[in-house]
Amino acid sequence: MTEPLFSIVIPSFNYALTLPRAVESVLSQEGEDFELLVVNDGSTDETDGVIQSLLAETDNAFRYIKQENAGPAATRNAGIEAGSGRFFIFLDADDEMAVNALEYYREQIIKTPRVGMIAGGHLSRDENGREKAHLPGALPASKYKKLQAYLLDKTVSFSNGAVTISSSVFDSYRYPERFRSSEDIPMFAHILANYEVTIIDSSLAIIYKHSDSLRHNVGYVREVGLAVVSEVFDTERIPPALLSLKEAFMAQRSLSLFRTLYGAGKYKEARKYYHRAIAIVPTSLFQFSYLRKYLKSWF
């Protein structure tokens, strides 16, 4: 096969039960212009055996990379290093590509061949089988407004598995491996600040929600903390005209950390982040959902 249009990377850590579903959703896509790479991030379950069985069943239809556990960012970077496609898609091992997802991407690439990222929507499915459609939202015209919409206003959102990213993006930046969660925020911010982004108003993936997600792991939340702010606003990558968004993002991240720690019952620690948010942006005090939690944390 000539150089593929798409490299589809499935990072997997202890998802042996759902990995076959993810692999099948990729291999069932129409066309021959894509490669699939499965990266086993040091799983301790039956992942290796499942992958070996899948390789035998599919006549080695994908490439297998095995590494010691290094986290989701390092796992995606391993896929970037090994892949040769013009565009990359990162599909979590417990999710699925939607039927005909690649065809949607192909059509958009023809229209905008120099695009940095193409983002579609996704269908979320919870543990009870309830489904909800999520579209990425309309992008404003300027890069400043795009970044503001993503980081602050939350009117634009992206999900790995439902986006494809040009390989040219990774010439200047890779996923920050020091983060074991929220590693996609700096990547999406970097792309919005420096590249053209287009939107597809269709669901391109099925994202499964789990109560044990890293997003709910307080240890990882502490580890990332406010460091993600410095990563997003690294002056070597963010144009100077966008740096004025940094303080507001710091305040918002502080409120987000407050909410997570409050939900975990760690009220004293949570209040420190609430105080920080108010000190940075005093008008944060008027966000009543946070104020209510803050007052309740004292009783």
* DSSP per residue, 91-127: --TT-EEPTTHHHHHHHHHHH-TT-SEEEEEEEEE-T
Residue 273 CA to residue 225 CA, distance in Å, equals 10
For residue 218, pLDDT beyond 80? no
Confidence of residue 214 (pLDDT cuts 50, 70, 90): very low
State mean pLDDT over 183-197.
97
The two three-digit tokens of residue 94, written as one number: 């417990």
For residue 34, pLDDT beyond 70? yes
Q: What is the DSSP letter of 16?
A: T
The two three-digit tokens of residue 53, written as one number: 């069985």
DSSP E strand stretches across the chain: 6-12, 34-41, 63-67, 87-90, 96-97, 117-125, 131-134, 163-166, 197-208
Residue 273 CA to residue 259 CA, distance in Å, equals 9
CATH fold label, 6-218? Spore Coat Polysaccharide Biosynthesis Protein SpsA; Chain A (3.90.550)
The two three-digit tokens of residue 131, written as one number: 């489904």
Tell me what percent of the residues of the chain surpass a pLDDT of 90. Answer: 91
For residue 1, pLDDT beyond 70? no
For residue 213, pLDDT beyond 60? no
* CA distances in angstroms from 174 to 148, 226, 290, listed in the order given: 22, 19, 34
Higher-confidence residue of 220 and 129: namely 129
Residue 117 CA to residue 192 CA, distance in Å, equals 9
User: Domain segments of the chain: what residues?
Assistant: 6-218, 243-296
Put simply, whether the predicted model's pTM sits higher than 0.85 gets the answer yes
Average pLDDT, the chain: 94
